[in-house]
Homo-oligomer: A and B are copies of this chain.
Amino acid sequence: MYTGGNDVTFKITLAYDGTAFVGWQRQAAGASIQGLLEEALARLDHGEVIVSGAGRTDAGVHALGQVASLSLRRAIDGPSLVRSLNASLPDSVRVLEADLVPDTFHARYSARRKTYRYRLWNADVLSPFERQYVWHVCGPLDRDAMAAAAMLIEGRHDFAAFRAAGGKTRSTDREVFSSRVVVAPWPPVPPCPLSPLILYEVSGSGFLRHMVRNVVGTLVEIGRGRRPIEWMSEVLAGRDRRQAGPTAPARGLVLVSVEYDAGLLAPER
């Protein structure tokens, strides 16, 4: 437990249901996760607190393990910070952990690996319990073709083809460590013999805005048989946003985890 001094820095881990939010980032109008956290922390710390998130998730995107960093003047220990924040946040946002870190730690700049999951529901009828958390794709999908195509983007590449339309990021080089389609175990929904839930899981050094959703839109074109497996490599090599598939809806996307070098997390003494 940290017991003295000023300006202590915390790494907090969060889960949220993004359905009702304008996204992670504070906007001119509407509730954002960053905004809610900053308001709760300002009350706690009696002054402005800036919260930096590892992934700036868009409106409707969810998180199981978003990470944010923040500095407080007030001396408080991690478990108390968790309790205090959860007491003032809505139950759609939960702080899971708060750890003291060196003041050099920054949730976004220090991140080494981020993992996202995209959830597709492939059956005629969509479960009412999944309606905010999947993209409902009707009609047959060739899951093997999607799995083969997904792996074609692994490695270090220029991902300009999958950037958001109008995206202005200077460098579009990123490294994708793993890009896989997995069929989730699921209780069978009659009369569907296959699991309706298809998961796409991708880990990388970082992601361009809309990159995961644009890769998923491209995978679904391939799954539908409108394009061959190799189209994924062609789109990637073309570096032209207009060649890729459509942007998959936000509600199917979940930020699963953000990882850091252990050395960055060790508290200074």
Q: Which residues on A are within 8 Å of B, measured CB to CB?
A: 13, 15-17, 62, 82, 86, 91-97, 125-129, 131, 133, 189-191
Contacting residue for A190 out of B96, B126, B131, B189, CB 8 A:
B96
With a CB–CB cut-off of 8 A, which chain B residues contact A82? Answer: 125
With a CB–CB cut-off of 8 A, which chain B residues contact A93? Answer: 128
Distance between Cα atoms of A9 and B164 in the complex (Å):
52
Distance between Cα atoms of A92 and B126 in the complex (Å):
9
Distance between Cα atoms of A126 and B93 in the complex (Å):
10
Distance between Cα atoms of A128 and B91 in the complex (Å):
6
Contact yes or no, B125 A94, CB < 8 A: yes
With a CB–CB cut-off of 8 A, which chain B residues contact A128? Answer: 15-17, 91-94
With a CB–CB cut-off of 8 A, which chain B residues contact A94? Answer: 125-128
Specify which of A93, A95, A97 lies most central, judged by the most chain B CB atoms within 10 Å of its CB. Answer: A97
Contacting residue for A97 out of B91, B129, B191, CB 8 A:
B191
Closest chain B CB from A106 CB (angstroms): 22
Specify which of A62, A97, A127, A129 lies most central, judged by the most chain B CB atoms within 10 Å of its CB. Answer: A129
